[in-house]
Chain A
Amino acid sequence: MIWSIAWRNVWRNKLRSLVIMIAVTIGLSGGIIYYAFAKGLMEQRIEAAISNEISNIQIHNPDYLLNEELKFIIKDPENIIHKINKVEGVKAVSSRIKAMGMASTAETGTGVMLNGIDAANEKQVTKISEQLTDGKYLEEKGRIPIVIGQKLAKKLNTKLRSKIVITAANTEGVITYGAFKVVGIYDTENDMFDELNVFVRKNDLARMLGANTSDVNEIAVTLDTHEQTNHVLTILNDEFSKNISQKEILIRPWNKIVPSLNAMIEMMDFLSYIFMVIILIALAFGIVNTMLMVVMERIKELGMLKAVGMNNKRLFRMIMLETIFLSIIGGLFGLFISYVTIQYYGHYGMSLAAFQEGYNALGFSSIVYLEAETSFYIFTTVLVIITAILASIYPAQKALKLNPATAIRENN
């Protein structure tokens, strides 16, 4: 019956209870939606980074990582690629020749990263080919083609079918030139990437730089799902343990390739949890205040309960339960509202068109698909209950201290 007294007591002063419930609802949904937004933003950034830029796993000559030079090639790439393709979970493998260079037009020039690729394989590994705003992706025929990012096109003030000149050091360190025709312009959500990376045919680049057409600086591996990354990594490390121990190759997963991304995610996660705790601390003050009013208002009633034989344990439990009910109702509404919001914007995406430029400049998408893990909902629910329990202690203590004789006496 203590449960039902506590429950009914919540509704004695409906307006006051409603106010605190609404505060809890708003606070919680604010916190959860913020978390889902940050989470969605980060997940999309990772997704984009993996599918456009780095793929799940990359393999390099360890020396190349210290010094990104053309000459640090992977030994026997054919064999390695062949073996990787046989591993379960591997969707596609692409090999690349890479070199730093200058891209220039008649007007201006800028530094770029030259990616010499095999178009058919690369299409399977990264999604640049699907993000063309203009033209086509490195067709097999035609004169020395190049695909550049829109941001770069703007910077060079060039357009489709125009010619640009690429300057780079060849294998002997001598500066060489090559003329390329812009056949495609792509646009990912990461402006920095778009400005830097250009794609050319592997053979064209090798020929221009005097390298062997079978040379490879980088092998990129895409998996069926991101979750397989660590598993496949283990298999590959095992398979190529000899090459690794002889320092011929180094195999790295995406989160080792861009550790900053990983750190950012962990930071965002951590901040969301802290944010949630701060919200609940703020709400706790509101709850304590409400419950103190409750206790003050019911001094006589509480005195009567003590007088007729309700012990401190039960009295405490009654007040604690009332506090929990009060908080949990708002909490459930908050969870419900955030769940619906997250489901909706998780499906249709939340458009931040107004801030598009800023977001893209930082590599983030301007349409954010909200997402929240079940564990965050559980964390929040537990936090609400803990908050309610803590918030009930002080008001309950006040009630326990009441002297029944004086409590009943109070101005009858």
Chain B
Amino acid sequence: MGVIKISNLHKIYDESKIPVKAVNGIDLTIKQGEFTAIVGPSGSGKTTFLNMVGGLDVPSKGKIEIDGINIGNLPPRQLIDYRLNNIGFVFQAYNLIPVLTAQENVAFIMQLQGKGKNERNKIARELLETVGIGDKIDRRPGDLSGGQQQRVSVARALASKPKFILADEPTANLDSKSTNELLDLMLKMNKELDTTFIFSTHDQRVMDKARRIITIDDGIITSDVQKN
């Protein structure tokens, strides 16, 4: 359950005259329940890598198998449904639907999944309670701080009961206090629900919280450290 097996992954951007080898042969296995940070200098290929793992971008070569399913083989329409039901996303910014309240944002994902109104509202409330903003469920994103918005994002990512959550620099726009709180929250969710988290970061303090740190440089893995 929840095993991501990546083999010989490549991504070459060749829209411009000089092709860019953003990901240049990555082999990696991530197991259920991991709390993994992807680190590396700017332009090293972190976002490109996460996008492919999340099924947002198509690899130029290699494959990504999630529980035995090669997501590169899924037709576009099925891939969207696959993302909806199996992958949670937390982005750096523009994460939430600005016209919906916190609760509606979380419930919306479940509506896309076809859950009933009462059920999704109940789960949304509970999740927002868990991420610590149970008293602000009727606020719209614009009326929440950056840290609070990211908590809503985590709640939304969890709402679809995904196999794993991908977060591309989730703390890049946050101050250090909010960064700490968000990481603690993610760690708590990881422990309580056994949800896999894979996130990229530049931030040393964020890396310190990770239990596995994968360093990428020029599109290849240069180190892979497991902590205990």
Residues of A within 8 A of B (CB): 1, 4-5, 8-9, 12, 300-301, 304-312, 314, 403-405, 408-409, 412
Contacts and interface: CB of A to CB of B under 8 A. Distances in A.
Contacts of B94: 300-301, 304, 408
B99 A5 contact: yes
Contacts of A1: 100, 104, 107-108, 111
B3 interface: no
Interface of B: 47, 51, 54, 56-57, 77, 80-81, 83-85, 89, 91-95, 97-100, 104, 107-109, 111-113, 156, 160
16 contacts: A1-B111, A4-B104, A9-B99, A304-B91, A304-B94, A306-B80, A307-B56, A307-B91, A310-B80, A310-B112, A311-B80, A312-B77, A403-B57, A404-B56, A408-B56, A412-B92
A5 B77 contact: no
Contacts of A306: 80
Contacts of A8: 99-100
A196 to B, nearest CB: 69
The winner among B56, B92, B93, B111 for most chain A CB atoms within 10 A is B56
Contact of B112 (A4, A312, A314): A314
B135 to A, nearest CB: 22
Given A1-B104, A412-B92, A412-B93, A309 B98 contact: no
Contacts of B98: 12, 301
A392 to B, nearest CB: 18
B188 to A, nearest CB: 22
A5 B109 contact: no
B97 A309 contact: no
Contacts of A300: 93-94
Nearest to A404: B56
Contacts of B77: 311-312
Given A308-B83, A309-B80, A405-B56, A12 B99 contact: yes
A192 to B, nearest CB: 63
A319 to B, nearest CB: 14
A405 B111 CA distance: 23
Contact of B57 (A304, A309, A405): A405
A144 to B, nearest CB: 85
Contacts of B80: 306, 309-312
A4 B93 CA distance: 23
* Chain A interface, >50% SS class: helix
A5 B100 contact: yes
A304 B153 CA distance: 12
A5 B56 contact: no
B17 to A, nearest CB: 18
A8 B108 CA distance: 15
Contacts of B47: 409
Contacts of A405: 51, 56-57
Contacts of B109: 308-309
Contact of A307 (B89, B104, B107, B111): B89
| A-B complex: 4 closest residue pairs judged by Cβ atoms | A309-B84, A8-B99, A405-B57, A405-B56
The winner among A309, A408, A412 for most chain B CB atoms within 10 A is A309
Contacts of B93: 300, 412
Nearest to B92: A412
Given A301-B94, A304-B94, A408-B91, A309 B104 contact: no
Contacts of B84: 308-311
Nearest to A309: B84
B196 to A, nearest CB: 17
B81 A305 contact: no
A312 B79 CA distance: 12
Contact of A5 (B85, B92, B97, B160): B97
A320 to B, nearest CB: 17
Contacts of B83: 307-309
Contacts of A311: 77, 80-81, 84
Contacts of A404: 56
A310 B97 CA distance: 12
A203 to B, nearest CB: 84
A11 to B, nearest CB: 8
A409 B112 CA distance: 24
B98 to A, nearest CB: 7
B81 A309 contact: yes
A314 B112 CA distance: 9
Nearest to B47: A409
Contacts of B104: 1, 4
Contacts of B81: 309, 311
Nearest to A315: B80
Nearest to B109: A308
A100 B100 CA distance: 81
B108 A304 contact: no
A323 to B, nearest CB: 16
Nearest to A314: B112
B85 A309 contact: yes
A4 B97 CA distance: 12
Nearest to B156: A308
A323 B197 CA distance: 38
B112 A309 contact: yes
A241 B94 CA distance: 82
Contacts of B100: 1, 4-5, 8
Nearest to B50: A405
The winner among A300, A310, A408 for most chain B CB atoms within 10 A is A408
A352 B58 CA distance: 69
Given A309-B85, A311-B81, 15 more contacts: A1-B104, A1-B108, A1-B111, A4-B100, A301-B97, A304-B89, A307-B54, A308-B109, A308-B112, A309-B160, A310-B84, A311-B84, A405-B57, A408-B91, A408-B94
